[in-house]
Amino acid sequence: MVLALVGSILAAGLIVRGSVGSAAVLLLVFLALAGLNSPLIFPRSISAQEAQRRSAADGRPVVYWRPTCPYCIRLRLRLGRGAGRLHWVDIWRDPEGAAAVRAANDGNETVPTVVVAGRAHTNPDPAWVREQVPPAA
């Protein structure tokens, strides 16, 4: 929402200056960024503790991610509709999730980090991640 608002304000300023074409391009860029970071694209994030509990119960991978990460966006888009079957943890909203990522990546907050059966995989191939999701019951 903030990205769309900022883009609108900047585009309005360009329109006032007479640069309608630049305003349209700028607005489209900001709307695309807003869309890519929207909860409509990424499934709703849960806490790391809840994700670990759910993963232990259903065997589905946990994906630690953060907004604006191009690798996270790539993973999400390549997973398609199957992304909703994974447990997503936004490390910018969950300190415990950020700590889990740092523990798995030598102190770095490298995302996406996907945990499958207790083992962390940093920036794995989306096709491999898709194979790790148990079939729907």
pLDDT in tens, the chain (137 residues): 777 788 888 888 888 988 888 889 888 888 877 776 666 666 789 999 999 999 999 999 999 999 888 999 899 989 988 888 999 999 999 999 999 999 999 999 999 999 999 999 999 999 999 999 887 76
Question: Which pLDDT score, from 0 to 100, does residue 99 have?
Answer: 97
Does any domain span residue 41? no
Structural domain total, the chain: 2
Question: Which pLDDT score, from 0 to 100, does residue 91 have?
Answer: 97
> Where does residue 130 fall: left (phi above 0), alpha (psi -120 to 50 degrees), or beta otherwise?
alpha
Q: Which residue has the tokens 């709307």?
A: 31
Residues 127 and 64 in one domain: yes
Range of the structural domain that residue 117 is part of:
48-132
Distance CA 69, CA 123 (A): 11
Residues 79 and 125 in one domain: yes
Does any domain span residue 42? no
Spatial contact of 120 and 104, defined as CB atoms under 8 Å apart: yes
**Residues recorded for the chain:** 137
Distance CA 61, CA 56 (A): 9
Question: Which pLDDT score, from 0 to 100, does residue 3 have?
Answer: 73
Spatial contact of 50 and 89, defined as CB atoms under 8 Å apart: no
Spatial contact of 69 and 111, defined as CB atoms under 8 Å apart: yes
H-helix or E-strand spanning residue 58: helix 48-58
- Residue 132: Cβ within 10 Å count: 16
Instruction: CATH number of the domain at 53, please.
Output: 3.40.30.10
Spatial contact of 100 and 25, defined as CB atoms under 8 Å apart: no
Question: Which tokens sit at 51?
Answer: 């994700």
